[in-house]
Amino acid sequence: MKQSLSDVPETLLIPLWARAIETKREDPIIKDEKAIEMMQKIDYDFSKFYGSWMSQTGVAVRTQIFDAEVTKFINEHPYANIINIGCGLDTRYFRVDNGTINWYDIDLPEPIRLRKNFFTETSRHKMIGKSVFDFSWIDYIDDITKDTLFITEGILMYFSENDIHVLMNKMSEKFTGATILFDIMAPFYIKNSKKHDTVSKTGAVFKWGIKTGKEMEQINSDIRFLKEWSIFDFHKNRWKFIRWLYLIPYLKNNFNCRIIKITV
């Protein structure tokens, strides 16, 4: 299957590859058989990512944390809107759907075109081919007053700080009380994206990072920091030598990758 992804959109193939590789393990953190199918059908040289065990493990752990938190939110809000920004070829809907939520996958036109080769829209699962900064996508949300969870997985680090402020302010304005679940990288990684084990093999670069989710409260007075998780606290046996480095508080605080939960 032909694809014409480049720059940031090309990075959506990294988590697809990582989930497929994880699924093939004898002791997988997560299982995603659909990822294997998509990887086999897409015309792309995935071999460039082989050996990138840090990114591969990070995606698997991140996926597990996101799945657990999204499931928890849905259990508490069974008729909610789930808005998946920068969805790429994510398959989470099929792992967490309860039969009553409304799920919106948003990404640029080319990722959505590719996505529609594998998934079919329904009355509760819709795909929107627009930039998240083209705020006309809000018109596609059937009822913005519902309890809402935004998922922004593996995407915010590619936006500028100004972009982050614009996006968070719009969410706060239009979706009062919404929960946002996202991942961040420490500033160290942002400065060294050309050395990243997988992103360096695409045309993308990191632009934004913070040390802790508490910093998000500086963006907007409506933002409330709720919780964060370090990916290095999970499945420590998979992190090889890194698990020992992160016993040092300075390293854990300044060279970390976290999943953050806030409300707006």
Please give the single-letter amino acid code of residue 167.
L
Give the residue-averaged pLDDT of 23-39: 96
Residue 34 inside a domain? The answer is yes
Reported as a pLDDT band with limits 50, 70 and 90, residue 86 is very high
Residue 2 inside a domain? The answer is no
Reported as a pLDDT band with limits 50, 70 and 90, residue 247 is confident
**What phi-psi label fits residue 240: left (phi over 0), alpha (psi between -120 and 50 degrees) or beta?**
left
Is residue 196 within 8 A of residue 232, CB to CB? The reply is no
What was the pLDDT predicted at 16? 97
Domains identified in the chain, total number: 1
Residue 36 inside a domain? The answer is yes
Please report where in the chains the tokens 């996006």 appear, as a residue. Answer: 167
Contacts 24+ apart (CB under 8 A), 116-122: 117/1, 117/41, 118/34, 118/37, 118/38, 118/41, 118/89
Residue 53 inside a domain? The answer is yes
Residue 3 inside a domain? The answer is no
pLDDT digits (tens, 9 = 90+) for 141-190: 999 999 999 999 999 999 999 999 999 999 999 999 999 999 998 887 78
pLDDT top residue among 227 and 191: 227
Query: What span, in angstroms and rounded, lies between the C-alpha atoms of 66 and 48?
Result: 26
Element housing 128 (H / E): strand 125-129
Reported as a pLDDT band with limits 50, 70 and 90, residue 2 is confident
Reported as a pLDDT band with limits 50, 70 and 90, residue 201 is confident
Domain that holds residue 62: 8-263
What was the pLDDT predicted at 138? 97
Q: How far is CA 219 from CA 33, 90, 165, 169, 211, in A?
A: 39, 28, 6, 8, 15
Query: DSSP 3-state assignment of 96?
Result: helix
Share of the chain above pLDDT 70, in %: 100
Residue 47 inside a domain? The answer is yes
Q: Is the pLDDT of residue 5 over 90?
A: no
Query: DSSP 3-state assignment of 70?
Result: helix
Residue 16 inside a domain? The answer is yes
Residue 1 inside a domain? The answer is no
pLDDT top residue among 245 and 39: 39
> Cα–Cα–Cα angle for 223, 230, 95, nearest 5°?
85
Is residue 66 within 8 A of residue 136, CB to CB? The reply is no
Q: At what angle do helices 13-23 and 53-76 cross, to 10 degrees?
A: 90
> Cα–Cα–Cα angle for 69, 119, 154, nearest 5°?
40
Give the CATH number of the domain where residue 163 resides. Answer: 3.40.50.150
Reported as a pLDDT band with limits 50, 70 and 90, residue 54 is very high
Reported as a pLDDT band with limits 50, 70 and 90, residue 104 is very high
